[in-house]
Structure formats: C-alpha cells, structure tokens
Amino acid sequence: MKIRYLIVIGAFILSIFGGLAWSAFHYSKKAATAESVSRVLKSDNALQGQVIATQAFNINRLNQTAQTAQRANAIVAGNSETTVIEYREILRHEKTCDLPVPAAIAGGLLEYANRLRASAMHPDPVGTDSADGDTTAASGLTYCQAVLWIEPLLATIEQGNNNFAGIRDIEQHRQKSKGN
C-alpha cells in the first residue's frame, strides 16, 4: 500500500510539475507576443508622431506664405487705390476726357472681360448669370474710364503674381523636402 501512495503522490507531483511547466511555457509565449505587439505599436506611434509633426510644419509654412502674399496684395491694392485717386484728379482737368472709345474697341474689351469672368467662374447648372458676350454696355466707354481701369488691372495682375510666387515657393520647399 505504501507503494501505491508513493505512486499516487509521485503522479500528483508529476502532474503539478507538468501543469507548472505548461503554464510557464504558455504564459511565456503570451508575454513574448504581447511584447512584440507593444514594440509594433510604439513604432507605429513614433511614425505617426513624425507624420503629424511634418504636417503641422507644412501647414504653418503654408499659412506664413499665404499671409505674406496677403500682406503684399493689401499693399498693392492700397497703392492702386491711391494712384486711381491721383489719376482722377489729373483727368478731371482734361478736356478730351469724355470722348468715347470707338464702339468696336469698347465691345471687344467688354467681350474679352466677359470671357475672362466666365472662365474664372464655376459652371452653375441652375443657370444664373451666364456672362455671355451679347451684353451691351449701358453707355459707351470713355478714354478716361479706360485710363482709370489700367491701374486696377495691373494691380490685379501683380496680386496674382504674388499668389503664384507663394505657390512656387511652397512647391520648391516641397520638392526639396521630397529629395531629402
């Protein structure tokens, strides 16, 4: 009987050691898997942090470029307004100021302006103002009116150039950062 108890106790001890060995192996494997997942998540978080930092830097640079262009455009608009006021004062004393520009030239300018406006507008399927060239001016264009249009038109071109310069600057920075 003693041998039987020893066999039962030995079997019990072996089963406890077997259970402990299995538990140690099982939980060791789970810990290794959890550590691997943790490393992957930390790596992903680090990459996401870099992407977010880069995007924040780029947005800041874009905002600075836009502000620079906006300030330059505000200066251009102010200077243009001042020049138009000066021109009006000069033209007020001109005797030939009210002479009309020939109708064919005035019509061509109006048609060209309408084409530019139509090409800049998004098509509207509802059918609001179509900006066609069939519109005739209520009164003819005078030489003084044409002279007064020149400065605002040049100012608009300069403002567009300021915006394009900002876009070129952004694109150059993007190309440089892409090459690095």
Q: How confident is the model at residue 66 (pLDDT cuts 50, 70, 90)?
A: very high
Spatial CB neighbours of 151, under 8 Å, sequence gap ≥ 6: 80, 83, 84, 87
CA–CA separation, 54 vs 63, rounded Å?
14
CA–CA separation, 17 vs 15, rounded Å?
5
Q: What is the share, in percent, of the chain residues with pLDDT greater than 90?
A: 38
CA–CA separation, 92 vs 90, rounded Å?
6
pLDDT of 69: 93
DSSP bridge partners of 112: none
| Element (DSSP H or E) covering residue 29 | helix 2-91
CB 144 within 8 A of CB 97: yes
> Which amino acid type is present at position 128?
T
Q: How confident is the model at residue 127 (pLDDT cuts 50, 70, 90)?
A: low
Neighbours of 155 (CB within 10 A): 19
pLDDT of 155: 93
Characterize 106-145 residue by residue with b for buried, 16 or more Cβ atoms within 10 angstroms of its Cβ, and e for exposed.
bbeeeeeebeeeeeeeeeeeeeeeeeeeeeeeeeebbebb
The mean pLDDT of 66-93, rounded to a whole number, is 93
Q: How confident is the model at residue 133 (pLDDT cuts 50, 70, 90)?
A: very low
CB 141 within 8 A of CB 106: yes
Q: Which of 47-61, 91-105, 166-180 has the highest mean pLDDT?
A: 47-61
Q: Which two structure tokens, joined as six digits, stand for 30?
A: 């789970």
